[in-house]
Structure 1
Amino acid sequence: MAGPPQDMAPGRGPHARPALIVVDVQRGFDDAEHWGVRDNLDCERNIEALLAAWRERARPVVLVRHDSAEPGSPLAPGAPGNDFKDVITGEPDLLVAKSVNSSFHGSPDLEAWLRGEGIDQVVVCGITTNHCCETTARVAGNLGFQTWFVIDATHTFGRAALDGSLIPAQVLSSVTAANLHGEFATVTTTRAVLDSSR
């Protein structure tokens, strides 16, 4: 499988309008008793910086909300945890609601909207690194979008391995970066994206 082009930063090119896809930045992920220990405490600050940069340049912003169908989930519709965190401000160009990992499998149809807007570049950030963010980036790459994954504008939680040991959140984040880079997306940082878009 050919990977995405690696020689361009998001927003480069005469007609580039990269969409910022902000995945599941919801209050329910603050429930440490439910999720466990997280990594990257700078995640929300970096998302805030990306949102500000996109809005300053009038670039398209897509907000994605996970409406969990699992009983008792902090992300269930109607639960306080379903709401976006305070870092998410302003109106998006598109709001996608989903109940699965991929932002391309929600409503309204993200792929159809991007194609209708003539957008072929996407920048992915949000929560969690190795689930909904990674899945969204994989699908974006498979659909032919030039995709950037802003690793330090995501965070995740430690998870139990099949043998019962704990895999730390930072290890999972590193594995996501290795899985994606050069195959589905270009893994990058908030600073690199902000510098490239000036």
Structure 2
Amino acid sequence: MIFSKTDKPALILIDIQKGFDNIDYWGGERNNPNAEENAAEILKLWRENGFPIFHIQHCSSNPNSLLNENNSGNEFKDLVKPNEDETVIKKNVNSAFIGTNLKEQLDQAKIKTLVILGLTTDHCVSTTTRMAGNFGYEVFVVSDATATFNKKGVDGQNFSAELIHDTALASLNEEFASVVTTSFIKQNLL
């Protein structure tokens, strides 16, 4: 088994916030409609096992952003709302490590293994995963507990949310992290 209490794997839930419910605002198409349910299932397992949990909250400095702290879209989605005793780390860039004390908290707790999930695959999940891998953590990204939106290419072509998601994960896998599924996490939890 990969995940055990002695290893103290940390769950990093990235930007699972209400503002991402406005699919039109982010591009008009989203993949993995069950990502939040899978994230909630993993969060429940982490709570039951007493593993460390870090909720990352994007607080956009753009006052018009749905993720600005003055907007209700900044709130965590109800399915994964932090408990009072769980750590919340606020960020305003793509990486959960920049401008925060996430690395210091992980290192102080002697955490070496991270399980990362959340929104969006190609932005904050990818950037945080790349930095975590570069810092030397053993990183697992949960493919079906992450999601993203479609993107317009430089020539105006539309790239589907699934394509963006798949290519983002392919770029991470076996270089910065191991890309796994919710069922893999459940099967490998002691």
Query: Which category of TM-score, normalised to the shorter sequence, fits these structures?
Result: over 0.9
Q: Is 2:143 the partner of 1:157?
A: no
Q: Deviations over 1:20-52 (max 9, x none)?
A: 000000000011221121000110110000000
Secondary structure at 1:75 match in 2:
coil
Secondary structure at 2:40 match in 1:
helix
Q: Quick check: 1:61–1:92 contact (8 Å CA) kept in 2?
A: no
Secondary structure at 1:147 match in 2:
strand
Question: What number of residue pairs does the alignment pair up?
Answer: 188
Secondary structure at 2:78 match in 1:
coil
Secondary structure at 1:164 match in 2:
coil
Q: Deviations over 1:143-183 (max 9, x none)?
A: 00000000110010000000101000100111011101110
Q: Quick check: 2:63–2:70 contact (8 Å CA) kept in 1?
A: no
Query: Residue 118 of structure 2 is aligned with which of 126, 133, 138?
Result: 126
Q: Is 2:23 the partner of 1:32?
A: yes
Q: Deviations over 1:93-150 (max 9, x none)?
A: 321100000011143x100000000100000000001100011110000000000000
The amino acid across from 1:95 in the alignment is V
CA RMSD of aligned residues (A): 1.3
For residues 137 and 92 of structure 1, the distance between their equivalents in structure 2, rounded to whole angstroms, comes to 24
Q: 1:193 to 1:161 in 2, by over 3 A?
A: same
Secondary structure at 1:115 match in 2:
helix
Who is 2:69 aligned against?
A: 77
For residues 41 and 33 of structure 1, the distance between their equivalents in structure 2, rounded to whole angstroms, comes to 15
1:83-94 equivalence runs, <5 A? 83-89=75-81, 90-91=83-84, 93-94=86-87
Who is 2:91 aligned against?
A: 98
Q: Is 2:158 the partner of 1:166?
A: yes
For residues 143 and 92 of structure 1, the distance between their equivalents in structure 2, rounded to whole angstroms, comes to 26
- Percent of aligned pairs with the same amino acid: 38
Who is 1:45 aligned against?
A: 37
Q: Quick check: 1:96–1:106 contact (8 Å CA) kept in 2?
A: no
The amino acid across from 2:89 in the alignment is V
The amino acid across from 2:94 in the alignment is N
